Amino acid sequence: MRGDRPGRGRRIDLLAVLSFVALGFWVTARLWLDPRNGVRDNRNDQAQFEWMMAHGARVVTHLAYPFHSDQMNVPEGVNLMANTSVLSVSIPLTPVTLAFGPRASFLLFLTVGMIATATAWYFLFSRVLVGSRGPAWLGAAFCAFAPAMISHANAHPNIVSQFVVPLIIWRTLRLGDSGRWLRNGVLLALVIVWQAFLNLEILLMTAIGLGVVVAVLAAGRPDLRRRAGTFLAGLGVAAAVAAALLAYPLYVQFFGPGAYEGLPRLIRGYSSDLASFVAYSRESLAGSPRTSEGLAKNPTEENSFFGWALVILVLALVWWLRRNLVVVSLAVLGLLFAVLSLGREVIFDGRETGVPSLWAPLEDLPILHSVVPTRWALAITPIIGLLLALGVERIRRLAVAHPAARPQIRYATVTVLAMALVPILPTPLPATHLNPVPGFVTSGAWRPYVAGGRSVVTLPLPDTNYTEPLRWAAATGLDMPLARGYFLGPDTRPHAEEHGAALFTAPPRPTSSFFSVVRRAGAVPPITPQSRVNAVDDLRYWRAGVVILGPHRNADALRRAMTELTGIEPVFTGGVWVWDVRPLTK
């Protein structure tokens, strides 16, 4: 931008994007290099997203209803608007899914999502918010590859794919343009809808963040208040168009079959440990499982790990740039998100302090009861990214204004940035070999068993701890219908403590609970006549045509249990044990 010739500027832009491509493939390298590999620390969500990618393709090829599916959790199905259906990505990636399979489209989604996020922030910073390419590159790289983003790269592609957020910010800033309130309002609505079908949680954080920043800027700058009429007119158009386009999908999400009433209290207790803000994430260069031990619920939720050096640098930047109203608004917003992420009670170094946080009176409110509180800290990442870009841009101007001191300024800047950022550089995601999809599934040998609307029951039955069947179903293009599954659905048990709140699978049935015990213990509990009656009732409820058992560490116990329950001897074929249960479920 400033001082750049057009040709040189385009070359810098190209180098910036290529650097983001290199970083994206560096993070996911182990997944690309071996097609047998999956995300080690979150295989369950990878399986779920592969299923979702197959669903997006099925919407195109079979004209399937996009917001609900009967191919998982037979017979009730799954409310996909209330889950991470990622339709705005899965549908466009249909050609990849059909040609190379759901694993390939999942991996492309994950990798390109990070690259596109960095690229979108780069152009927003360099063209709109900062104005210089070098500072913009630094800020954008942080926004896409900071520790929180790498943590979610463990099979949360919908969260690391934040490339629509800079577009929402850009179009919001354009609402005040004179004479274009209608056009700008419609364009803002379209990118809002795009983000809604990618991740609603990120959209909520973006809306709150923009609201705080715009309010602070309007309060402090009379020139912006003079454009308030045009801005509000465009905002009204955006709200009206987005509401019209999202009304039916959101109705399905909140009131359709399979809708639930917020997350369970256990998940709403996932908060950021106050000590985590100065710790290092396990996926950072200076981090390890030991540095994050006890400070996050799991490897995919390390949202607040910045390290001492970066926290000090950010505080110093805010103080140094405190006369900049944008910096003040960013600081206020970052503090708000940090406090919200602490959850209902402040935790320090794994210990409860008894001090309530701001989130405590908010967590049961509609909409907010579906937010995982620690993820508010995820929104701090782009705030820090912009602060870094603004700080480096200020330093660049100092160097230009004081040419005699330029070498010293550059040396000090590089040293400080290296001390803060090198320890949090990303490392490649840990990978592990996944079991191949059994030949019984890939060959289509299951198809005769599901004629007439029957389902496939797998052992173990799929839930939050066992999701291999979702990968199998995805490999069939979701032609193979599954009993139960891994998804968010309502707890409909009559005596549930949180009736209507989300479960991460279907409500338990006697036979699913029985096999959960077998899966965990590796032993068969005593089988009673009632156990056998329950098994037949549940198989009929699931419309089971066949039961299959693939590779599992407790396969012997699972096989013995099903055989004793049904009295049917299984046949081993295509890498799985097969029970033809159609005679029992007529």
231, 175 Cβ separation under 8 angstroms: yes
Give the chain's mean pLDDT. Answer: 96
Does residue 4 surpass a pLDDT of 70? no
CA 485 to centroid of chain Cα atoms: 19
CA neighbor of 48 nearest in space, from 431, 369, 447, 478:
478
pLDDT (average), residues 280-284 = 96
Say which range, 101-105, 485-489, 493-497, has the weakest mean pLDDT.
493-497
Residue-wise pLDDT tens digits, 316-325: 999 999 999 9
- Looking at residue 420, its pLDDT comes to 98
Does residue 2 surpass a pLDDT of 80? no
Residue-wise pLDDT tens digits, 420-471: 999 999 999 999 999 999 999 999 999 999 999 999 999 999 999 999 999 9
* Domain definitions of the chain by residue range: 6-33+101-424, 439-584
Does residue 282 surpass a pLDDT of 60? yes
Work out the pLDDT band at 409, boundaries 50, 70, 90.
very high
pLDDT (average), residues 228-253 = 97
Does residue 482 surpass a pLDDT of 60? yes
Q: Is 229 exposed, middle or buried, given 0-12, 13-18 or 19+ CB atoms closer than 10 A?
A: exposed
- Looking at residue 226, its pLDDT comes to 87
Residue-wise pLDDT tens digits, 496-533: 999 999 999 999 999 999 999 999 999 999 999 999 99
The span from the CA of 72 to the CA of 62, in Å, is 16
Give the orientation angle of helix 325-341 with respect to helix 200-220, to 10 degrees.
140
Work out the pLDDT band at 3, boundaries 50, 70, 90.
very low
Beta-strand (E) ranges in 96-147? none
3-state secondary structure of 346: strand
